[in-house]
Amino acid sequence: MTTPKPPSFLKNDAKKKFIDIYEMLSKEGKWKQGDDIALSALCANYQHWIEAEKAIKKNGDLCFTTETGYRQQIPEVSIANNAMKSMLSFIREFALTPKERIKLKETILKDDENSDHEMEDMIQK
């Protein structure tokens, strides 16, 4: 299997994250064909989150006042929140946190306990 390249639309930080995660998953034997699409989406959301957080910091306030005097949340807050939610779903999908790895391991062990080894032996032969 060839090493996937990060999508060209990603900036350097997100490309580095793509390569780091790919290498980790590959080393652990968890990289499957087609994972590059989900990893690209994870890294794109990572990029959006970083950019939105930088814009929030630069703005210095989470809200602005409209011409009519109404206080409104800056759009970057929504962008950051949505990117974070999307990132977290991909993080769970790839089991990239210690908690998710434990849950994945428990699921595998539970499935192994419930399997019918005699039937599996007959099917494999």
Residue 37: its pLDDT value, please?
A: 93
* Tens of pLDDT, residues 43-86: 999 999 999 999 999 988 898 888 999 999 999 999 999 999 99
Question: Dihedral through CA 47, CA 52, CA 57, CA 62, nearest 10?
Answer: -160
Compare 21 and 119 and report the one with higher pLDDT: 21
- Report the C-alpha gap between 115 and 121 in whole angstroms: 11
Among residues of the chain, what percentage have pLDDT more than 90? 54
Nearest CA-CA partner of 83 in 117, 40, 122, 41: 41
Return the minimum-mean-pLDDT range out of 36-40, 41-45, 105-109, 115-119.
Answer: 115-119
pLDDT bin (cut points 50, 70, 90) of residue 124 is very low
Domain boundaries, the chain: 12-94, 97-125
- Report the C-alpha gap between 1 and 26 in whole angstroms: 10
Place of tokens 């998710």: 100
Tell me the residue type at 96: L
pLDDT bin (cut points 50, 70, 90) of residue 33 is confident
Residue 5 in 3-state DSSP? coil
